[in-house]
């Protein structure tokens, strides 16, 4: 194994008794696990771990690594050194950016999180480029007295000397390109010193986007204030990880401006959708347009047009909150966008008094009509020809391997079942369905069983036969897709004729 990807290769400060509630401390750029010794001594009832990250401290023999690699290392550390395989995590500055990556990639290992003075920042535009240029000039002289004197308020000189120049440069650069884990399922404290001008507005904005986050500040203090007020910092951590009120000294951040929130939205991974909004909206309009015929039959022409317009508006509102599962690199991203469009139509119909079954029936008919449009009919036929080729099956094997890594909690997880060439060409056994998870998160789990029936006309449009005996949405342990060439299965659910 590459030492830089082996958690056992990192030096780790440790205190307390394994089996006690665990806290993992993540230091900032140019620091080391020694930064937390006073905290660990005071928090003696906890099992505390403080790694020296690659390129820092006693792990400076390891090459600098990306936030995702370091997140994987920290997750592996928790899984191998903490008996419960879960811990609260505390990060300072760059360490907080790494916790965002940890929450994005390994949310199951985190109990609660404290992110102090952490990216992403709401710095002036272009600040990241200027900082990169500054570091290019500065880093060769990092270990000289004049440069270390610049950091005397925030860093221990011994830690700076032990940090490799490339690791220091990367930690600062990565901080200016950090993204936020807005889908974090655990309680998250976003905290800063009162004087941290770029960080506080970002914390306030981010707290509105994270479902379980709070933003507070420590009056009169600046970046890395744990060095100036260690007692307050320790009491804050102990209160947060035990679910108690924060010390009385702290103040809640004021409500953020709408501009700050919108800017922060562009700095989170989910906003791949916003970056591609014009194209996605065009596709949504094209997808929902064929629904008009069935809506007109049920509600009249004018009301049918109004329902489509309403659904498109609802989809636009939902768009920023569609879970990020890899963007354009994951073919299921398009599937998830279509599920969101169906949800928008479902909500538009339910708002007009339609029952669950009636809404599902109209959506099902609308999707079938979509597959009959030109050029969709031709495109689906081409996809069908590719599906069972060697190239197509290799694609599904790669997608399955990625899903099994669980990089994105809201993604599909499945394995490929090799076909025998007779009963079926390829099988997909799905044990986690992104559509079911999304509908559940959006408060519409009752629609999921109806959604599953759309798979049959979809495969029929590709001139492929779909066989299936169970689905997760119907209470099964998996969705067992079996795909083959031949006469498509003619499956019509009962609710179409209700």
Q: Rounded distance, CA 251 to CA 352, Å? A: 44
Q: Rounded distance, CA 411 to CA 402, Å? A: 10
pLDDT digits (tens), the chain, 498 positions? 444 456 678 999 999 999 999 999 999 999 999 999 999 999 999 999 999 999 999 999 998 887 878 998 999 999 999 999 999 999 999 999 999 989 988 999 999 999 999 988 776 666 655 666 676 778 888 889 998 898 989 999 999 999 999 899 888 878 877 788 888 999 999 999 999 988 999 999 999 999 899 999 999 999 999 999 999 999 999 999 999 999 999 999 999 999 889 888 866 654 688 878 999 999 999 999 999 999 999 999 999 999 999 999 999 988 877 888 888 889 999 999 999 999 999 999 999 999 999 999 999 999 999 999 999 999 999 999 999 998 889 989 989 988 888 778 789 999 999 987 777 899 999 999 999 999 987 889 999 999 999 999 999 999 999 999 999 999 999 999 999 998 887 788 888 876
Provide CATH 3.40.50.1820 ranges for the chain.
3-265
Predicted local distance difference test score (pLDDT) of residue 4: 46
Q: Rounded distance, CA 163 to CA 60, Å? A: 6
Longest CA pairwise span in the chain (Å): 81
**In 3-state terms, what secondary structure has residue 21?**
coil
Q: Per CATH, which fold does 3-265 belong to?
A: Rossmann fold (3.40.50)
Task: Give Cα 425 distance to the centre of its chain.
Answer: 33
Number of H helices, E strands in the chain: 21, 12
Angle (CA) 199-204-206 rounded to 5° is 90
Q: Global pTM?
A: 0.58
């Amino acid at each position: 194994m590459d030492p830089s990807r082996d958690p056992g290769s990192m030096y780790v400060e440790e205190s307390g008794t394994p089996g006690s509630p665990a806290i993992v401390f993540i230091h900032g750029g140019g620091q080391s696990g020694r930064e937390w010794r006073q905290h660990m001594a005071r928090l003696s009832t906890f099992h505390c771990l403080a790694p020296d990250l690659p390129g820092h401290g006693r792990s400076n023999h390891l090459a600098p690594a990306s936030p995702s690699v370091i997140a994987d290392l920290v997750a592996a550390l928790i899984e191998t050194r903490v008996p419960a395989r879960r811990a609260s995590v505390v990060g300072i500055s760059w360490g907080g950016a790494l916790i965002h990556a940890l929450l994005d990639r390994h949310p199951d290992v985190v109990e609660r999180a404290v992110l102090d003075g952490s990216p992403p920042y709401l710095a002036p535009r272009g600040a990241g480029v200027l900082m990169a240029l500054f570091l290019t000039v500065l880093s060769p002289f990092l270990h000289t007295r004049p440069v270390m004197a610049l950091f005397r308020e925030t860093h221990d000189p011994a830690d700076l000397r032990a940090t490799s120049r490339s690791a220091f440069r990367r930690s600062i650069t990565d901080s200016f390109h950090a993204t936020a884990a807005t889908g974090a399922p655990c309680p998250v404290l976003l905290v800063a010193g009162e004087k941290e001008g770029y960080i506080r507005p970002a914390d306030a904005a981010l707290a509105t986007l994270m479902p379980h986050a709070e933003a507070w500040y420590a009056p009169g203090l600046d970046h890395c204030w744990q060095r100036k007020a260690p007692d307050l910092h320790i009491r804050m951590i102990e209160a947060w990880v035990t679910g108690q009120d924060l010390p009385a000294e702290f103040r809640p951040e004021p409500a953020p401006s709408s501009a700050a929130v919108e800017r922060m939205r562009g700095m989170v991974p989910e906003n791949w959708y916003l970056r591609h909004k014009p194209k996605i909206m065009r596709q949504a309009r094209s997808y929902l347009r064929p629904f008009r015929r069935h809506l007109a039959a049920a509600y009249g022409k004018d009301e049918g047009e109004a329902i489509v317009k309403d659904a498109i508006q609802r989809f636009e509102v939902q768009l920023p909150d569609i879970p990020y599962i890899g963007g354009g690199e994951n073919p299921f991203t398009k599937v998830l966008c279509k599920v969101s469009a169906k949800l928008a139509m479902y909500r538009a119909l339910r708002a007009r008094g339609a029952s669950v079954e009636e809404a599902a029936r109209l959506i099902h008919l609308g999707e079938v009509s979509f597959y009959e449009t030109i050029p969709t009919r031709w495109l689906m036929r081409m996809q069908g020809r590719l599906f069972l080729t060697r190239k197509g099956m290799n694609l599904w094997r790669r997608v399955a391997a990625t899903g099994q890594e669980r990089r994105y909690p809201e993604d599909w997880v499945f394995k490929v079942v090799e076909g025998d060439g007779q009963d079926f060409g390829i099988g997909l056994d799905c044990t986690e369905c992104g559509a079911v998870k999304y509908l559940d998160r959006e408060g519409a789990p009752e629609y999921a069983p109806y959604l599953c029936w759309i798979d049959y006309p979809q495969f029929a449009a590709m001139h492929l036969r779909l066989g299936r005996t169970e689905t997760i949405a119907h209470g099964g342990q998996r969705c067992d897709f079996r795909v083959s060439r031949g006469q498509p299965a003619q499956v019509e659910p009962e609710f179409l004729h209700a």
